[in-house]
């Protein structure tokens, strides 16, 4: 997994609550059997005027210029500023894949849906929770100031504003460690192989019907 230590980048808005994963990456793009290439279809229905199809040449499609990500001032953004309950709906991991493939490494919102939140960490992305007031402030600042950027320091758990002020954020210790070291979770779990085998043996004795029924 990609490491995440510090990250500086331009901030772009997704200014509505309850953005669901279907909005992040519509289902027609889930038919791919690959993990990459979803970025051109991130927020497809909002970003383009026409209906997106898999395997299409997206460079020719009419853009919806009301959608901020299409504005020149947000070109190259890598931090997404969002609202409550970001990433709700379907469990598709294609949502963080699409955000990541587009170039986002950080999302900032007052709250997230659980599965999406989890999926971000597994893909080297950092979803940060800040309280609503601070998020509101950041929206105001971003709107006022073209080129509004932030610097995120995961080790220190801080976000530095251009004015030098710093915002503290919480992150679970284990997730932090995995991101900082770029650790592979499966490898970590397999360090407990004896514990898993031991559990499995006991479990098979107490609930034999849970084993071998499907084979």
Partner 1 sequence: MAGKTLYDKLWESHLVTELNDGSALLYIDRHLLHEVTSPQAFEGLRLANRQPWRIDANLATADHNISTETTERAGGVQAIADPVSRIQVQTLDDNCAEYGIVEHRMNDAGQGIVHVIGPEQGATLPGMTLVCGDSHTATHGALGALAHGIGTSEVEHVLATQCLVSQKMKNMLVRVDGELGAGVTAKDVVLAVIGKIGTAGANGCAIEFGGQVIRDMTVEGRMTVCNMAIEAGARVGMVAVDDKTIDYVKGRDYAPKGDQWTAAVSAWQTLHSDADAEFDVLVELQGEDIEPQVSWGTSPEMVLPVGARVPDPEQITDANKRDGVVRALDYMGLQPDQALVDIPVDRVFIGSCTNSRIEDLRAAAAVAEGRQVAESVKQVLIVPGSQAVKKQAEAEGLDKIFMAAGMDWREPGCSMCLAMNADRLGTGEHCASTSNRNFEGRQGNGGRTHLVSPAMAAAAAVAGHFIDVRELMAEA
Residues in contact with partner 1 by CB under 8 A are: 16-18, 20, 22-23, 26-28, 30-35, 45, 51, 54-55, 84-85, 88-94, 111, 113-115, 118-119, 122-123, 172-174, 177, 184-186, 189-190, 192, 195-196, 199-200, 203, 206-215
Beta carbon of residue 118, minimum distance to partner 1 (angstroms, whole number): 7
Minimum distance from residue 86 beta carbon to partner 1 (Å): 10
Judged by CB, which is closer to partner 1: 78, or 119? 119
Q: How far is the CB of 91 from partner 1 (least distance, A)?
A: 4
Q: Measured from the CB atom, is 75 or 181 closer to partner 1?
A: 181
| β-bridge pairing 166-168 and 149-153 | unpaired
Contacts 24+ apart (CB under 8 A), 26-32: 26/52, 27/90, 27/92, 28/52, 28/53, 28/54, 29/54, 29/94, 29/98, 30/92, 30/94, 32/94
How many other CB atoms are there within 10 angstroms of residue 52's CB atom? Answer: 17
Could you tell me the smallest distance in angstroms from the CB atom of residue 99 to partner 1? Answer: 13
The tokens for 188 are 């970590």
What 3-state class would DSSP assign to 81? strand
Nearer to partner 1, 43 or 150 (CB): 43
Across 168-191, b (16+ Cβ under 10 Å) vs e yields: ebebeeebbebbeeeeeeeeeeee
Pick between residue 75 and residue 185 the one whose CB is nearest to partner 1. 185
Which CB, 22 or 153, lies closer to partner 1? 22
CB of 92 to partner 1, least distance (A): 7
Map residue 87 onto helix, strand or coil: coil
């Amino acid at each position: 997994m990609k490491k995440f230590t510090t990250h500086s980048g331009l901030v772009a808005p997704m200014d509505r609550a309850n953005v669901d994963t279907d909005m992040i990456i519509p289902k027609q793009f889930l038919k791919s059997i690959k993990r990459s290439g979803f970025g051109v279809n991130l927020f497809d229905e909002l970003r383009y005027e026409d209906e997106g199809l898999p395997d299409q040449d997206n460079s020719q499609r009419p853009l919806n210029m009301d959608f901020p990500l299409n504005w020149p001032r947000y070109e190259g953004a890598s931090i997404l500023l969002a609202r409550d309950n970001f990433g709700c709906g379907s469990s598709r991991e294609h949502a963080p894949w699409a955000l990541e493939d587009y170039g986002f490494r950080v999302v900032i919102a007052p709250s997230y849906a659980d599965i999406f939140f989890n999926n971000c960490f597994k893909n080297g992305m950092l979803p940060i929770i800040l309280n609503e007031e601070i998020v509101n402030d950041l929206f105001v600042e971003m709107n006022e100031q073209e080129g509004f950027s932030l610097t995120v320091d995961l080790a220190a758990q801080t976000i530095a504003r251009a004015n030098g002020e710093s915002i503290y954020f919480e992150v679970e210790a284990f997730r932090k460690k995995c991101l900082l070291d770029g650790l592979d979770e499966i490898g970590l779990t397999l360090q407990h192989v004896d514990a898993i085998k031991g559990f499995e043996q006991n479990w098979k004795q107490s609930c034999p019907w849970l084993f071998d029924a499907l084979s």
